[in-house]
Amino acid sequence: MWQHTVKKEISFVGIGLHSGNPVKLTVKPAPADSGICFQRLDLAGDAVINASMHRVSDTALATTLGQGDVLVSTTEHLLAALSGLDIDNVLVELDNDELPIMDGSAAPFVHLLKKNRKVQKVDRLMMKITKSMTFQDGDIEVTVKPFDGFKVTSNIVFDHPVIDSQSYTVNVNFETFAEEIASARTFGFLEQVEYLRANGKALGGSLDNAIVIDRDGVINAEGLRFGDEFARHKILDVIGDLALLGCPLLGHVIATRAGHTQHVAFMKMLAENQECWQLVHRDENGFENVLDKVVMATKAAGKKVLPFLLPPMPATVQRVAC
């Protein structure tokens, strides 16, 4: 399978969900093997951050990347759009510290990006799951199992009759991501929104960019886009966060009650358990070439793929390895 970038610069304008600040974002073509990078144009110097789990600095309410004084927040929806459309290499420029929330989903990004994909005739490096692994923290679980493709299941439970228990599974590819997942919006409860605003968060939130639920139900006039939109949006978040692995994953990910914090912890645990996966190149005919992980770790391209030396996981986290 070949790598992809974009044909031309593509710009989006909006506001940050939490900051409420206006922001312009531009996705630019990038060379093969360069991955996804964010650049803050409003800061002096080389204010660039790689889209890597190494750079995750905060997972409260959104996935924030940080390096020194450079922060880029609410990255998950754009990263999901790029991952879902198999776009590997871009430079993302923005003139503020938070990506625009658009309509609360990845659909506005997908609408333009899917028309402007450009093939780069360089093999994609992929992480193929060979043995099952589970990250567990209380009643939160993220499991990955071998699967010939990329499949995601989200299981969620909320103490509200509108959501209650929902589950959704999708075999993720270019078409299914655009049709089933991309337009699912972020959501929150009215009392939570009021609390967040009182604490300087969700300042850009509105009924135009989020599903808002009160005690009686969804207060957005147009209602839901899907009956299980909440579970679908959780899949969107999983896909966006897993883009921080640095290469596509071949496997079935099952996330139960999980959020950004658990997604990142799962990726770090996965990287540690190298017996559970292989790095492969898969050509257009489906034939695979298995790469040596130790060799990859010494190559310049390898540093953007996975962390091979990691600090220990917190003692409170249960490890359920292969």
Q: Report d(CA 122, CA 107) in Å as an integer.
A: 28
Residue 140 three-state SS:
strand
Q: Exposure of 294 by Cβ count < 10 A (0-12 exposed, 13-18 middle, 19+ buried)?
A: exposed
Of 242, 239, 251, 245, the closest CA to residue 302 belongs to 245
Q: Report d(CA 242, CA 184) in Å as an integer.
A: 18
- Between the CA of residue 285 and those of 1, 2, 163, 282, 289, what are the distances in Å? 8, 11, 42, 8, 12
Residue 243 three-state SS:
helix
Q: Note whether 247 and 94 are within 8 A (CB).
A: no
Q: What values do phi and psi take at 104, rounded to 5? A: 90, 0
> Residue-wise over 131-165: b if at least 16 C-beta within 10 A, else e?
ebbbbbbeebbbbbbeeeebbbbbbbeeeeebbee
Catalytic residue status for 260: yes
Which position among 4, 18, 252, 260 bears the catalytic label? 260
Number of H helices, E strands in the chain: 7, 21
Q: Report d(CA 35, CA 254) in Å as an integer.
A: 25
Q: Report d(CA 253, CA 185) in Å as an integer.
A: 21
Q: Report d(CA 1, CA 121) in Å as an integer.
A: 9
Residues with a known catalytic role:
260
